[in-house]
Chains A and B, each alone.
Chain A
Amino acid sequence: MNPTERLIAELTQDVRPVTPLRPPAMRTLGWLALAALVLGAITMANGLRPTIAQDLQTPKYLWQLVFAFLTGITAAFAVFANSVPGRSRAWLWLPWIPFAGWMASLGYGCIADWIEFGPDGMSLGHSVGCFATITFSSIPLGAILLLMVRHAGVVHPVSTATLGGLSVAALSAFALTLHHDLDATLMLLVWHMSAVGLVILVARRNATRLFGMVGLKRL
């Protein structure tokens, strides 16, 4: 018996029934429910911004929210699709479409600020709080997502981690936009995007290590 045959015999002996994963769309909904719990708790703790009702009437605010949310969802879907071997990898491009919209809405916000307030609307400020909130709320969300796609480590660790980072950071930024009361869009653009970039970078760089931490080791 050669080693390959011996291996097949061993694997066959070890075949316990398994439950196939649900389709990516279902898993995305499950993940959103969990993310809503975490982000809802953070938002409750901070309280919604006082002007939320009228802000939602403002296009620049509304579009930012919508696109950040869409980026979070589509990135999560891409993560779940990509973590299954053999799925089309074109899904990896999907979240970058709403992401571009998100960037555009922030850019539009900057221009709107300029028209409304002139150079005063361009204050950059020191909103380290924003940055820290996004990065820190990304940690519990990232941990949940990582556990949900722990099998991806053996197939597509890097792309899964990258889009996972995008998803958690975008949803964190979405939740943050609901409760913080910063109005200068340039500030949002700078701080939110650097936080999103940092989360993605950390996830991407540590992809193999992250997947190594959860169960399935790389074979």
Chain B
Amino acid sequence: MAVSDEPKTGAAAGASPLRVESERQWSEWMRAAQAGDAACYDRLLRAVVPYVRAVAARTVRVPDDVEDIVQETLMTIHSIRHTYDPARPFVPWLAAIARRRAIDRLRRRMRGPAREVEFQPEHETFLAADANSEEPYADPAALARAVAALPAGQRQAIELLKLKEMSLKEASVSSGQSITALKVATHRAVKRLRVLLAGSDGDER
């Protein structure tokens, strides 16, 4: 239980008369907010946002995180606003909350990668068990032979649409065939390939 580094805001604040002024103002707004004054509370929350954002930005670098810290700090201020003692300076109270939220966020950042595994394409699974095989196709040579044995129109359709992964539109432009013709050719080619591959490998389908 080490005594942690307490925010040095009090001392830093003393350096600037403007800051001292705004501290006093914030303290007054907070006192009014504790009494239920919504207008003062609104002014206070808006006024502290840049300060909290600065505290957050010192701890984390990601802008989204900074904004999250700001929002979490605002929520904490709201939930424990009764712990502010109007007789004491406001900024140390605010700074302690902001720093705590920033440290929590930083910890979550550090802990996250250790516990999480990034989603990779190979983690994807499909309903059909065959589709989850890591090997795209067990025997590429047989497939290449089967494709070569297709009639020219069907072979072109398969090459453009399946092997080069063109869209129907691109394939239509590239081959000069209509989209409908390409669809028909592909459908027939796949049917034909199934037959050819089933012939070469007994346990395929």
Residues of chain A touching chain B, judged by Cβ–Cβ distance below 8 Å, are: 3-4, 7-9, 11-21, 23, 83-90, 92-93, 151, 154-156, 158-159, 162-163, 216, 219
**A-B contacts besides A8-B45, A11-B74, 15 pairs, CB < 8 Å:** A4-B67, A12-B42, A14-B78, A19-B34, A20-B34, A83-B83, A86-B88, A86-B89, A86-B97, A88-B6, A89-B3, A89-B4, A89-B6, A154-B100, A155-B97
Tier of interface size on chain B: 35 or more
Identify which of A18, A158, A163 contacts B81 (C-beta below 8 A). A18
Q: A4-B67, A155-B100, A159-B1 are in contact. Are A11 and B83 (CB under 8 A)?
A: no
Contact across chains for A13 and B38 when beta carbons are under 8 A apart: yes
B109 vs chain A, min Cβ distance (A): 17
Q: Is the interface of B mostly helix, strand, loop or mixed?
A: helix
Identify which of A16, A23, A89 contacts B85 (C-beta below 8 A). A23
Contact across chains for A17 and B78 when beta carbons are under 8 A apart: no
Contact across chains for B38 and A12 when beta carbons are under 8 A apart: yes
Give the chain A neighbours of B81 by CB distance below 8 A. 18
- A154 vs B88: C-alpha distance when bound (angstroms): 20
Contact across chains for A84 and B85 when beta carbons are under 8 A apart: yes
Contact across chains for A8 and B100 when beta carbons are under 8 A apart: no
Identify which of B38, B88, B96 contacts A155 (C-beta below 8 A). B96
Task: Say whether B82 faces chain A, with CB atoms less than 8 Å apart.
Answer: yes
A10 vs chain B, min Cβ distance (A): 9
A194 vs chain B, min Cβ distance (A): 19
Give the chain B neighbours of A154 by CB distance below 8 A. 76, 79-80, 97, 100
Closest 5 CB pairs of A and B: A86-B92, A17-B36, A85-B96, A86-B93, A18-B82
Instruction: For B43, give the chain A residue with the smallest CB separation.
Output: A12
Q: A17-B36, A21-B85, A219-B79 are in contact. Are A86 and B96 (CB under 8 A)?
A: yes
Interface residues of B in 53-85 (CB under 8 A from A): 67, 70-72, 74-76, 78-85
Identify which of A84, A90, A219 contacts B76 (C-beta below 8 A). A219
Task: Say whether B86 faces chain A, with CB atoms less than 8 Å apart.
Answer: yes
Give the chain A neighbours of B46 by CB distance below 8 A. 8
Give the chain A neighbours of B49 by CB distance below 8 A. 4, 8
Task: Say whether B12 faces chain A, with CB atoms less than 8 Å apart.
Answer: no
Task: Say whether B158 faces chain A, with CB atoms less than 8 Å apart.
Answer: no
Instruction: Write 29 A-B pairs (CB below 8 A) sorted by A numbering.
Output: A3-B71, A4-B67, A4-B70, A8-B45, A9-B42, A11-B45, A12-B38, A12-B41, A15-B33, A15-B36, A15-B78, A16-B36, A17-B34, A18-B34, A19-B34, A84-B93, A85-B80, A86-B7, A86-B92, A86-B94, A86-B96, A89-B3, A89-B4, A92-B3, A151-B79, A151-B83, A154-B79, A162-B1, A219-B79
Task: Say whether B129 faces chain A, with CB atoms less than 8 Å apart.
Answer: no
Identify which of A7, A21, A89 contacts B71 (C-beta below 8 A). A7
- A156 vs B86: C-alpha distance when bound (angstroms): 21
Contact across chains for B45 and A21 when beta carbons are under 8 A apart: no
Instruction: For A90, give the chain B residue with the smallest CB separation.
Output: B3
Contact across chains for A158 and B80 when beta carbons are under 8 A apart: no
- A83 vs B4: C-alpha distance when bound (angstroms): 14
